Chain A
Amino acid sequence: EADIYQTPRYLVIGTGKKITLECSQTMGHDKMYWYQQDPGMELHLIHYSYGVNSTEKGDLSSESTVSRIRTEHFPLTLESARPSHTSQYLCASRDRGLGNTIYFGEGSWLTVV
């Protein structure tokens, strides 16, 4: 069972607000990811990290930013939320090795009004 946690699970905020979605994993995994997924749609990688102080943009352009100061923590921040940011954000992690399994958190549902 995966030990990866996301908070908040649900968030409704107003346009222009700054928000941070938290993600923590207790498995000691080096690699962590943020995906964005709209209902019924495919997963899109927006950020990933190979380890502490290593972050890169994913395939889908996103106005969010991430940081990786500690191995277990990979927060995602939106400086100024817009209705177009309404989506589900999924955090994931995996251990080293090419084929190792990616484990997902429960997701954070963000609604910007």
Chain B
Amino acid sequence: EDQVTQSPEALRLQEGESSSLNCSYTVSGLRGLFWYRQDPGKGPEFLFTLYSAGEEKEKERLKATLTKKESFLHITAPKPEDSATYLCAVPLNAGNNRKLIWGLGTSLAVNP
């Protein structure tokens, strides 16, 4: 069954305490993996797209990596403003990405 699983569900860090969020998937024939950040009451904000195993992308304190089975979102020296829910999504191998499978997200809280 096509599935996207994110862990942990929730994570609380102290400011400056680096950590990683995980997104594992069972979709065959990966055609991209998306990371989004969502603040409470707002729409998801695009962060990264990864297309192939071994690919890495960085943006400020965030770095996303991809293997054949999972993706990690590494957060280096986080700040309170990094607090948000981080979502990953994978398109089904159906010839289009109308159907995205979304993870439930990791709720990150960074304490000052």
A positions within 8 Å CB-CB of B = 2, 6, 31, 33, 41-43, 45, 48, 50, 59, 88, 90-92, 94, 98-107, 109
Contact = CB atoms under 8 A, between A and B. Distances in A.
A31 to B, nearest CB: 7
B41 A102 contact: no
Contacts of B59: none
B interface: dominant SS:
loop
Nearest to A105: B43
A106 B42 contact: yes
Contacts of B34: 101-102
A104 B98 CA distance: 14
Contacts of A109: 41
Q: Name, among B97, B103, B104, the residue most crowded by chain A CB atoms within 10 Å (CB to CB).
A: B97
